[in-house]
Homo-oligomer: A and B are copies of this chain.
Amino acid sequence: MNRIRQEKIQDYIERNSVATIKELQALFPDVSLMTIHRDLDALESTGAIVKYRGGVKSLHHPDDIEFNIRMRENIQGKEIMAQKALSLIKNRSSIFLDAGTSNLVLGKNIPDLSLNIITTGPAIAIELCRLHNPIVTVCCGDMNRKNMGISGKNALEMIDKINIDTAFIGVSGASSKVGFTCGTEADMLIKSSVIKKARVSVMMCAQEKLTRLMPYTFASFSDVDYIITDYELSADFKEEAEKNGVIIL
């Protein structure tokens, strides 16, 4: 079988979450219908998709999808941010990775150093299993389906007990006036506790988050040390950062 074509097909289906055979045929005009069918059979046997008469659908579940969709958004920006963040990760330090897509991309890029990595993202923990040197610790608590993150009282208690050198915190929305915001109270509690405990706090602010505000503020500019972004900050952000000694990467 042609792996590359099959992966393209799967990608297409995942993106659109459904696809007709005709669409796929049009997408790959140089192979026969039968081959498409066979490719789909192969993909189906891996459990990634399901065939039905006339087409196929992705088997990924609604909540996964939201996360996966966000995972595919602005990949380049996330890569840029990950590269910047790597410069802040020192061997033999203890770092915290907040749940979320930016930090999952960061997790994929972390080298095999002697680190203590604490995370609220199970997906991040799984990703880090590819490495041999870091000790990976998962925060306990309740899963938030939206951001695949852990929060709750147990998590807070645990964070209270550990030491964090550098914390990478996901930001859902921000403004120069209200600071850094997120969508739930539970997440807010986690993020603000971590920032209090960490020696260095790094805000992972993809560009699109900077024009958006979420209900809960978890940190103001004076609480943080670095802002990592994928493009450039607007003047008011820069000004506010400078005023509070926040370094922009």
Contact = CB atoms under 8 A, between A and B. Distances in A.
A123 interface: yes
Contacts of A125: 122, 143
How many copies of this chain are found per oligomer? 2
Q: Size band of the A side of the interface?
A: 20 to 34
Contact of A63 (B64, B129, B148): B129
Contact of A129 (B126, B132, B139, B143): B143
A135 B139 CA distance: 16
Nearest to A130: B61
Given A122-B138, A138-B122, A139-B140, A158 B154 contact: yes
Interface string A143-184: 101001010101100100100000000000000000000000
A52 B74 CA distance: 26
A150 to B, nearest CB: 5
Contacts of A126: 64, 122-123, 126, 143, 148
Contacts of A138: 122, 138-143, 150
